[in-house]
Structure 1
Amino acid sequence: MALSEERLEVIRANAELVIRELAHASGRTLGFDGDSVAYVEEFIERQRAQVPETARGLVGVIGCYLGEAIIEAVPGADWSEDENGALIVLFANSDAVYPFHKVEKQIAEGLEAGESILSFYNVSINYVAAGKLGEAASEETP
């Protein structure tokens, strides 16, 4: 289901907030590219270690950021809702990914448990969006 323009504006504003605040705090230039996603992943890990309760409150804004980064990288991708009302990034091939869920998992379990928003970003843009998810799974299995 397509989202209203007002809802999309809120999502985009949250994504820009992540870029603005993390760029200000780090002195780095950030955007919606893979290197910036890697920096946000590191930020999540630092927050998990320092103030776990605060980190959980970041799911919404970082989920918006991660989704926007995926949309920026994949022509034709856009925000939508699944049948349960969860926000998803929907690709032209009708496959979808759940950026908020992935951020929540990394915050809860961390990189040490294999939860990585950078890996999610890469798999989303290189495999899911291209209809090659089976190839990604076979590359990980020796």
Structure 2
Amino acid sequence: MPPEQNPLTALRAAADAVRQQLQVNGFDAAGVQRLSDFIEGQRAQLPAASREGVINALGCFLGECIAQTYQGEWATGPDGTTGIGLRNKLFLNPFYRVGQQLKHGLADSVMTFFEQIPDRLEAELPRKTWI
């Protein structure tokens, strides 16, 4: 039986496979723009049976772009989901964001989401008013 693959290795391998398919050089804003364009081109013709696999693959790419651009890291969120942790302040789910653009189009663009991350990092977290 082959040894189990490290989950981080699998996430990064999937991200790199998508990077190659999108024909982009890196995990950066240009890559996210290409991803957004790709999602828009595929939305209408994506079979329901393929949707989950596509979201997983494209989410790995978006997550790696977020991690490398904003110095984040792959992590497990409080609810057990996989995503990107940023500065111990934010937890972002790239798979959800890809799914939202597939469902709603550019109104939920991964590019807009990506561009808003710096503002979200700078925003103060709300104070807890309970004990």
User: Shorter-normalised TM-score: what interval?
Assistant: 0.7 to 0.9
SS in 1 for 2:6: helix
Q: Does 1:50 align with 2:55?
A: no
Aligned to 1:122: 115
Letter in 2 for 1:74: Y
TM-score (norm 1): 0.76
Flag as ranges the 4+ runs of structure 1 deviating above 6 A: none
TM-score (norm 2): 0.81
**CA distance 1:22–1:55, shift in 2 (3 Å):** farther
Aligned to 2:80: 85
Aligned to 1:59: 55
Is 1:56–1:108's contact at 8 Å kept on the other side of the alignment? no
Separation in 2, partners of 1:87, 1:73:
18
**C-alpha distance after superposition, 1:99-122 (max 9, x if no partner):** 1111011111211xx110001111
Separation in 1, partners of 2:45, 2:29:
25
Question: How far did 1:52 drift?
Answer: 4.4
Aligned to 1:72: 68
Q: CA RMSD in A?
A: 2.0
Q: Structure 2: any 5+ residue segments left out of the alignment?
A: 126-131
Separation in 1, partners of 2:25, 2:63:
15
Is 1:88–1:99's contact at 8 Å kept on the other side of the alignment? yes
Aligned to 1:18: 18
The number of equivalent residue pairs is 120
Separation in 2, partners of 1:133, 1:118:
23
Larger Rg: 2
SS in 1 for 2:84: strand
Q: Structure 1: any 5+ residue segments left out of the alignment?
A: 24-28, 135-142
Letter in 1 for 2:31: S
